[in-house]
Structure 1
């Protein structure tokens, strides 16, 4: 039953999964695996207090098991109860100090709490899990310090996770180059042109064989390397730029639109091959129909910046939603269109990092159990000074978010 329930949870068929789990617990009420699955389901459906109650029972029944402590701390961190989460990690980490799963989750809570220097150091425990780097850790870039001489040294900066992460951490390429390092980026093709224009990138490669290097550094380790320096937040915004010729082409095509131009992104990339990413996307994305109230804004025009299958929802928008995205084949193309818009309204996906890095005003529609990088209880972010965060107040309910976004856009139109 548990295996079937796991698949149903991953597919978002929560009622069926819960029925199976409840039936299983009637037969085996103390099965820890089933109880963990039930807590996961409750979390995925926004019943956080119930999930915490299940995890508390698991903690009480086996005080020597660190995993329910960790899971309970993750839930608390998700809902912003940061000090409670930290207290649980203080108990759990000494119980399994060498477990990378525990230490990585601990790092996420520290980062969400704003304890950046400690959080980035702890975040290196991700290398104990598969899928982060196959490069030798003895040649990982050390922390930047006065005693570290990088002049003339080749530093290979490598793609690690999603496009948004790369766009976010490209801000560290300029200060890395200022150390005298020769910066070689080994990334993904869709970001190649954007990477090439970042100040300090000596060479950009996608595909092929591993080039020669003195040190390597996955993008997500760059903030750890700079955490003790004046460049702890990387280069100031904007650190990304659009292709001038492409941007000029879009300027000319859009010049007759005198309205306030709004770019819309309502869904992230589902990545069905990645279960964790799929489950996150289910919470961060919304149907385009939920943005229908925006169509009533006088003086605004709307441009789709949406890629992939969610773009099929464009007919669901009650007003005109201009769609040039079939002409945008890479992030470089999208960036050129973006710089000709007045503001970007997006869910938490790579588009906010592209727009933020370009220095564009961004309104990010965020879920109630938000990602660590947006900290807790804030409607701004140190990463992108021109971003406003509009967060859910109720799990999976976008209605009040859309109303607040509408008001922000109406104010922006009036201020033109």
Structure 2
């Protein structure tokens, strides 16, 4: 149609949306901007332009686009939700919460807005309401609605004593590692806890105090009286900022595995041994903000007297071969099991990692860990603090502005040069 009618704003708009959905922002943005210029009274044009601007990290322009959409159509629930996301990307959390509430007032069954509200509330430390709204994830297909369907009732938190409970993760490895700790509280209340999980997690979660049994995915289900996803336990048990169960370590590694890990590290001699992880899964929705290239960490390798060990797996591990630090960074076996990663972490002096499962594994093992965080972090790291209420041995290094890894790395380098670690 554009070939025949190059100034057709509707065609420009829809073609721009298609390119946006494909991630082709350089093509999408001019089309969407031309459509808005031609028909500035179309709220949907402004809203979709905002989506593309946000994807291009043009947060200020995205905010303006969403506000333009809402000035034209104040009852546009999707635009209110998108405005909330843009505000949260700027760490304007209270304003984001208000925007999500506007969306839900207009459309109470808007599950994505309710999910986003829960994340903002938890980020802001408003746990009571945050946990309640967090259950919105259970109706979202991309967050596990169909991943685990077990017969029998969901546990409602009543009368745990003597009850056989089936618990299960529903999101990533990090979430499972973080929330499996609740089995200890349930066991102390008299419940018998069975955790259903992957082969990768099974040997680690089996060591948590209070886990009576681990049932691996694909095996026949053991008997139980009620079930519940791990990530619903904070709501059911009424976790507040003051009652987060933060006793660590709560995961253990066998001495056999640790002995093998010590052999891997032996050549380091007396030098402090630091593990490094710079990227999470590329499939994660926020990976472009939470991960960084190995090249950005180059200043750390200039600090003398440190033995560096990679904890990186996946495609990002291939960056080692092309790095000037390749001779200083010992690679990790690509086929290593999670329990072997845990054993290596248990024997390291310090772990430096981005926000990925390595941070949770190291925290659960009570290892000293520095977590490098993007400007707008995941809810569990909250805002304005350099410690974690979930993991006492973690220290957080936050971006002072979006996409500024340079200053984060500079602070880490300064801490290392100041003697944060002593020789063994």
C-alpha separation between the residues in 2 aligned to 1:13 and 1:318? Answer: 32
Are 2:278 and 1:266 aligned? yes
Name 1:274's counterpart in structure 2.
Answer: none
Equivalent in the alignment of 1:359: 366
Bigger proportion of residues as helix: 1
Report deviation, 1:100.
Answer: 1.7
Q: Which runs of 5+ in 1 are unaligned?
A: 272-276
Report the equivalent of 2:153. 139
- The residue number in structure 1 matching 2:9 is none
Please show how residues 265-344 of structure 1 align to structure 2 within 5 Å: 265-271=277-283, 277=284, 279-319=285-325, 320-326=327-333, 329-344=336-351
Contact 1:112 1:373 in 2 (8 A): yes
Report how far residue 231 of structure 1 moved.
8.8
Q: Which residue of 1 aligns with 2:383?
A: 376
Q: Distance in 2 between matches of 1:3 and 1:154?
A: 53
Match of 2:170 among 160, 166, 177: 160
TM-score (normalizing by structure 2): 0.88
Q: Report if aligned partners of 1:267, 1:310 keep a CA contact under 8 Å in 2.
A: yes
Structure 1 window deviating more from structure 2 (35-44 vs 112-121): it is: 35-44
- Could you report, residue by residue, the CA deviation over 1:4-50 in whole angstroms, capped at 9, with x for unpaired residues? 64565466543233123223334444444443332123223332221
Q: Deviations over 1:232-281 (max 9, x none)?
A: 4235121112222111222244234211111111111112xxxxx2x411
Distance 1:4 1:395 in 2: 29
Written as runs of structure 1 = structure 2, the 5 A alignment for 1:102-251 is 102-130=113-141, 131-133=144-146, 134-135=148-149, 139-143=153-157, 148-208=158-218, 209-228=220-239, 232-251=243-262
2:258 match: secondary structure: helix
Give the distance between the partners of 1:5 and 1:262, measured in 2 at CA: 46
8 Å CA contact 1:173–1:198 kept in 2: the answer is yes
* Cα distance change, pair 31–210 in 1 and its aligned pair in 2 (3 A): farther
Q: Is the 8 A contact 2:275 2:351 kept in 1?
A: yes
Separation in structure 2 between the aligned mates of residue 188 and residue 260 of structure 1, nearest angstrom: 33
Classify 1:9/1:343 alpha carbon distance in 2 versus 1 (closer, same or farther; 3 Å). farther
What is the deviation of 1:371? 1.0
- Tell me which of 81, 92, 108 is aligned to 1:81: 92
Residues 223, 232 of structure 1: 8 Å contact kept: no
Contact 2:313 2:334 in 1 (8 A): no
- The structure that has the greater radius of gyration is 2
CA RMSD of aligned residues (A): 2.4
- Which residue of structure 1 lines up, in the alignment, with residue 356 of structure 2? 349
Give TM-score, length-normalised by structure 1.
0.90
Report how many residues are paired. Answer: 406
Residue number among 58, 64, 78 corresponding to 2:75 in the alignment: 64
Deviation at 1:83, TM superposition (A): 2.0
CA distance in structure 1 between the partners assigned to 2:352 and 2:419 by the alignment: 12
- Stretches of structure 2 that go unaligned for 5 or more consecutive residues are 1-11
Q: Which moved more, 1:125-134 or 1:63-72?
A: 125-134
The range that moved more, 103-112 or 74-83, is: 74-83
